[in-house]
Amino acid sequence: MEDDRTLQEKIEYLKGYRGKPLKLMEVCGTHTAGIFKSGMRSWLPPGIRLISGPGCPVCVTPTAFIDRCVEWALSPGCALVSFGDMLKVPGSEMSLADAKGRGARVEMVYSPFDIMGMAEREPEATFVLAAVGFETTAPAYALLMEELVRRGIKNVKMVTALKIAMEAIKWVCDNEPGIDGFLCPGHVSVMTGSKAYGPLAKAYSKPFVIAGFESRHLVDAVYELAAGQGRPLVSNLYSEAVDENGNLKAQEIIDKYFVSDDAVWRGLGSIAGSGLRIRDGYAQFDAGSSGLDDDMALPEGCRCADVITGRIDPDGCPMFGAACIPGHALGPCMVSSEGSCGIWYTNTR
């Protein structure tokens, strides 16, 4: 949407907004953190409400996935390899951190490629990677498999819980009609391209705005969302990183090793076509990722499902900041630093 207003003029427009009350969803946790950092919440009028969405992959990983990872961690001769923010996510009986406390071998890494060195140093052991993420991290797991094939490393497997964020946004559109516009996930958009939002904008007659993470980018995005109400708008304000078609090489490598499938999102249930599973031709890397559909009920009183669908803000949950805090997280949205509750707690306490 072409608009020659200055940044300050856009701020004044938003401050003086008196139109229809708006609920605007930022899907990505990095945007949620950036909005707090910018101070926007302190000056936006009551008629413009910014709400969080299901943009934290750790938060939406189902219980059965954690249970499968714990099984591998407790298996003799095996090591479960994971990013740090997965360790405290509760399973039906225990988390990976709990399993480690009981003697299981759980290794924390900063890159999935770290597992190759481990596997080469200990060829007699089996290393199982907890592969979690959206379209942004799926290419890394695909490239890992390509390198494992090239090097002939045979003692690495993955339990996958890879999600397609675009399908979750569609689910929100179908099930939460009161949301008036979307601040699209920036990193995911780098992979998918801006064109991917066209069908959603047309189907739901809502604005979809792609933006970066600095304060000025966020002001521009909220202004576009407020000014573009009732129109099937796709606006790419992050053109330095996002083009129309996305990262074609990343899409190609994902398609080589993964195929779309139904997936369970913790707190939301099963969403058709919203997951990625390893293709049958590379089944040697799959550590039992299929059929992980069981998801235990959230703790009594926990309203994480309402938080990630924008029905309430995190501080609207009775457990927030009381029974549930980052050091003693009961709900998945408080576990990860990218989770809505964790971000709200850090920035409001």
What pLDDT is stored for residue 3 in this prediction? 73
Res 275: pLDDT:
95
Q: Clarify whether residues 247 and 118 are in a common domain.
A: yes
| pLDDT confidence bin for 290, thresholds 50/70/90 | confident
Interatomic CA distance for residues 207 and 175, integer angstroms: 17
Domain assignment present for 88: yes
Phi and psi dihedrals of 107, rounded to 5?
Answer: -110, 130
pLDDT above 70 as % of the chain: 99
Mean pLDDT, range 283-312, rounded to an integer: 86
Q: What is the mean pLDDT of residues 3-19?
A: 92
Q: Are residues 119 and 256 in the same domain?
A: yes
Alpha-carbon 336 to chain mean position = 11
Spatial separation of the C-alpha atoms in residues 208 and 335, rounded to whole Å: 28
Burial of 332 (0-12, 13-18, 19+ CB in 10 A): buried
Single out the residue in 196, 212, 236 at which a domain terminates: 236
pTM: 0.91
Residues 277 and 142 reside in one and the same domain: yes
Q: Are residues 270 and 283 in the same domain?
A: yes
pLDDT, mean of residues 245-256: 97
Please check whether residues 135 and 262 belong to one and the same domain.
yes
**What mean pLDDT comes out for the span 192-215?**
96
Q: Indicate whether 185 belongs to any domain.
A: yes
Contact 165, 11 (CB under 8 A): no
Q: Which of 217, 236, 255 is the last residue of a domain?
A: 236
Res. 294: pLDDT tops 80: no
| CA nearest neighbour of 334 among 348, 349, 319 | 319
> For position 122, what pLDDT does the model report?
97
Question: What is the spatial distance between Cα 341 and Cα 349, in angstroms, rounded to a whole number?
Answer: 12
Helix axes 215-227, 29-38, angle to 10 degrees: 100
- Give the best-scoring range by mean pLDDT among 59-68, 236-245, 333-342: 236-245
Residue 88: half-sphere exposure toward Cβ, Cα within 13 Å: 16
Torsion angle of alpha carbons 176, 178, 180, 182, nearest 10°? -20
Regarding whether 227 and 192 lie in a shared domain, the answer is: yes
Q: Is residue 2 part of a domain?
A: no
Whether 161 maps to a domain, the answer reads yes
Residue 336 has pLDDT above 90, yes or no: no
Asked if residue 12 belongs to a domain, the reply is no
pLDDT tens-place string over residues 55-86: 888 888 888 999 999 999 999 999 999 998 88
Integer Cα distance of 129 and 106 in angstroms: 10
Domain containing 311 — which CATH number? 3.40.50.11740
Q: Do 171 and 111 have their domain in common?
A: yes
Per residue in 178-188, pLDDT (tens digit) is: 999 999 999 99
Residues 33 and 62 grouped into a single domain: no
Query: Is residue 311 situated within a structural domain?
Result: yes
The number of angstroms, rounded, from the C-alpha of 263 to the middle of its chain's C-alpha atoms is 14
Give me the pLDDT at residue 130, please: 97
Residues 210 and 130 in one domain: no
**What's the pLDDT at 332?**
82
Q: What pLDDT, on a 0 to 100 scale, did the predictor assign at position 158?
A: 98
pLDDT higher than threshold 70 for residue 168: yes
> Which of 236, 231, 171, 224 has its CA nearest to residue 205?
231
- List CB contacts of 135: < 8 A, sequence separation 6 or more: 164, 165, 166, 188, 191, 192, 254
Of 19-28, 146-155, 287-296, 309-318, give the lowest mean pLDDT range.
287-296
Tell me whether residue 265 is in a domain. Answer: yes
Question: How much of the chain exceeds pLDDT 90, in percent?
Answer: 80
Q: Work out the average pLDDT over 6-13.
A: 95
In residues, how long is the chain?
Answer: 349
**Mean of per-residue pLDDT scores for the chain:** 93
Say yes or no to pLDDT of 157 above 70: yes
96 and 81 within one domain: yes
Instruction: Assign 3-class secondary structure to the chain.
Output: CCCCCCHHHHHHHHHCCCCCCEEEEECCHHHHHHHHHHCHHHCCCCCEEEEECCCCCCCCCCHHHHHHHHHHHHCCCEEEEECHHHCCCCCCCCCHHHHHHCCCCEEECCCCCHHHHHHHHCCCCEEEEEEEECCCCHHHHHHHHHHHHHHCCCCEEEEEEEECHHHHHHHHHHHCCCCCEEEECHHHHHHHCHHHHHHHHHHHCCCEEECCCCHHHHHHHHHHHHHCCCCCCEEECCCCCCCCCCCHHHHHHHHHHEEEEEEEECCCEEEEEEEEEECHHHHHHECCCCCCCCCCCCCCCCCHHHHCCCCCCHHHCCCECCCEECCECCCHHHHCCCCHHHHHHHHHC
CATH of the domain at 183: 3.40.50.11750
User: In whole angstroms, what is the distance from residue 211 CA to residue 239 CA?
Assistant: 8
Same domain (yes/no): 46, 65? no
Query: CA 110, 113, 116, 119: dihedral to nearest 10 degrees?
Result: 40
Query: How confident is the model at residue 129, as a pLDDT?
Result: 98
Q: Between residues 230 and 75, which one has the greater pLDDT? A: 75
1 in a structural domain: no
User: 2: pLDDT confidence band, cut at 50, 70 and 90?
Assistant: low
- For residue 106, the enclosing domain spans 57-175+237-349
So what's the pLDDT on residue 216? 95
Last residue of a domain, one of 236, 261, 279: 236
- Examine the domain organization and report whether 96 and 154 are in the same domain: yes
The number of domains in the chain is 2
Per-residue pLDDT, averaged over 145-165, amounts to: 97
